[in-house]
Amino acid sequence: MFINFLRTNKIASGVLTVLRLYLGYEWIHAGWGKLSAGGFDASGFLQFAVKNSTGDHPAVQGWWADFLTHFAIPHIDLFNFLVPIGEFAIGLGLILGCFTKTAMFFGLMMNFSFMFSGTTSTNPQMVLLGIFIIIAGSNAGRIGLDHYIRKFIEKKRLNNHSIASNKLSNAS
């Protein structure tokens, strides 16, 4: 019942828009801060995460530390590029309500990556709010560009269907 409310109700769409704008601001602010700083370097953060994977009560699990050690750190230039661009793109998508579910999916992936690396900050809160947006599906982007994108796709689909129907009618 609650999921149906999130997916179909216009009031829920308004509340989801507020959540989407908040999350979008947080993401775009974080990304822009890194992009405008003149250079972002995640190597210290990643090294610290690997260091926190040892001891009696490690904050970082061993499998994640292995991923960081064997993939992320050797490809640090890729991560130094992807993190700020990704944060900014996620924020832009959420603020505009454009490809909302996709933007939120990647936002959740980044939040979980930060938490796997041993940081908490606002990540759990952003994950919780993001889950509501993912569950709501297209209703989360109803007040945004997703509304117009969906109408465009439906119009194209109807046009293609009528063209295919006409071809079948003419062939018989």
Query: Considering the domain boundaries, does residue 157 fall inside one?
Result: no
Distance CA 107, CA 15 (A): 19
User: Helices 76-96 & 100-116, crossing angle to 10 degrees?
Assistant: 140
Query: Considering the domain boundaries, does residue 169 fall inside one?
Result: no
If 0-12 CB within 10 Å is exposed, 13-18 middle and 19+ buried, where does residue 47 land? middle
Distance CA 140, CA 99 (A): 10
Q: What pLDDT was estimated at residue 81?
A: 96
Domain containing residue 89: 2-145
Query: Considering the domain boundaries, does residue 153 fall inside one?
Result: no
Closest CA to 27 of 117, 111, 110, 90: 90
| 5 compared with 156, residue with greater pLDDT | 5
Query: Considering the domain boundaries, does residue 156 fall inside one?
Result: no
What's the whole-number mean pLDDT along residues 18-24? 98
Distance CA 144, CA 148 (A): 8
Residue 161's pLDDT band (boundaries 50, 70, 90)?
A: confident
Give me the number of domains the chain comprises.
Answer: 1
